[in-house]
Amino acid sequence: MHLILFVLFAGICLAGAINLLLQSHPINSALSLIVVMTSLAVLYLLLGAEFLAAAQIIVYSGAIMVLFTFVVMLLNAGREERTMGSGVARVVGFPAVVVILAVIATVILHAQGLGVASLSDPITTTEDLSKVLFHELLLPFEVTSVLILIAILGAVALARHGHGDPEAQGERTAGK
Amino acid sequence: MNLLSQEVPISWYLLLSAILCSRGVVGFLIKRNLITMFMSIELMLNAVNLSFVTFA
């Protein structure tokens, strides 16, 4: 059962990734990215991470992809021309990608003691997760929230840049 | 019956993660649009997430 589900959803995932590369319109790329993320959520469920699977569907397939489609439609991004990358990408990038993938695949396939993943593995419930997150890892959790706050402030500063009144811009440049 | 009770090696998940990540890099290289490049970065991020969950 595990093998069948894994092969099925890994195939869907890889097909979605290929489709993301082949489509020339950004909306089609976004829709195939939704397919990739939803099948990844099923793979998380197979690995016993039920909370992460739910978060993957809600946050990635839901919120982030809606944000992507909003941005695509707001910017009115049309069909892109296919350039197959710049010269540097063609000369250095693609061989580097192939070599790195080959090295990683060789290392993974020759690694010993990785074991198997079975459906009878214990599921990490939300209770276990929150016990770890709010007792032992409380300080990193709070530091992460401060980091998100800094990111919000940076987004506000970047969005206001160039749209404020000229006096405020003059003050800002004078302050620098 | 044998197929139904079969387990999946951990290395298959890691291999899937590596393939997805390399496809993200290829997408980052061949795409010209800023939004689709960002989508390729999201694909790489999700591939790394899959490997994290596999090791957990």
Six-digit token string for A24: 């020339």
Query: Taking CB atoms and an 8 Å limit, are A117 and B54 in contact across chains?
Result: yes
Chain B residues in contact with A33 (beta carbon < 8 A): 39, 42-43
**CA distance, residue A26 to nearest chain B CA (Å):** 6
Structure confidence by residue, pLDDT tens digits, A136-171: 899 999 999 999 999 999 999 999 876 655 555 544
Structure confidence by residue, pLDDT tens digits, A99-129: 988 888 888 888 777 777 766 666 677 888 8
pLDDT surpasses 50 at A176: no
Query: Taking CB atoms and an 8 Å limit, are B7 and A68 in contact across chains?
Result: no
**Nearest in space to B21 (alpha carbons), one of A90, A89, A23, A104:** A104
Helices (H), chain A: 2-22, 26-46, 50-55, 65-75, 87-88, 94-110, 126-131, 138-160, 166-175
Chain B residues in contact with A76 (beta carbon < 8 A): none
Residue B4's pLDDT is: 64
Residue of B nearest to A94 (CA): B26
Interface test with B, best of A43, A83, A129 (most B CBs within 10 A): A43
- SS3 state of residue B8: strand
- Give the single-character DSSP code of A58: I
Q: B32 or B40: whose pLDDT is higher? A: B40
Residue A175's pLDDT is: 46
Chain B residues in contact with A89 (beta carbon < 8 A): 29-30
Query: Taking CB atoms and an 8 Å limit, are A17 and B12 in contact across chains?
Result: no
Residues 6+ apart with CB under 8 A from A72: A26, A27, A30, B35
Q: A116 or A20: whose pLDDT is higher? A: A20
Structure confidence by residue, pLDDT tens digits, A31-76: 999 999 999 999 998 888 888 899 999 999 889 999 888 888 888 7
Residue A82's pLDDT is: 62
Name the residue among B13, B30, B53 with its Cβ closest to that of A85: B30
User: For chain A, what's the residue count?
Assistant: 176
Residue A24's pLDDT is: 84
Taking only residues 2 to 31 of chain B, the set having a beta carbon closer than 8 angstroms to any beta carbon of chain A reads 3-16, 18-20, 22-27, 29-31
Structure confidence by residue, pLDDT tens digits, A72-94: 888 876 666 666 666 777 788 88
Distance CA B51, CA A119 (A): 18
Q: What are phi and psi of A102, to 5 degrees?
A: -65, -40
- SS3 state of residue B9: strand
Structure confidence by residue, pLDDT tens digits, B6-38: 777 888 888 899 999 999 988 888 887 888 888
**Nearest in space to A80 (alpha carbons), one of A11, A122, A22, A17:** A22
In the predicted model, what is the mean pLDDT of chain A?
83
DSSP string, A117-144: E-TTSPP--HHHHHHIIIIITHHHHHHH
**CA distance, residue B50 to nearest chain A CA (Å):** 7
pLDDT band at B3 (very low <50, low <70, confident <90, very high): low
Q: Does B48 touch chain A (CB under 8 A)?
A: no
Distance CA B48, CA B44 (A): 6
Q: Does A157 touch chain B (CB under 8 A)?
A: no
**Nearest in space to A29 (alpha carbons), one of B26, B17, B40, B19:** B40
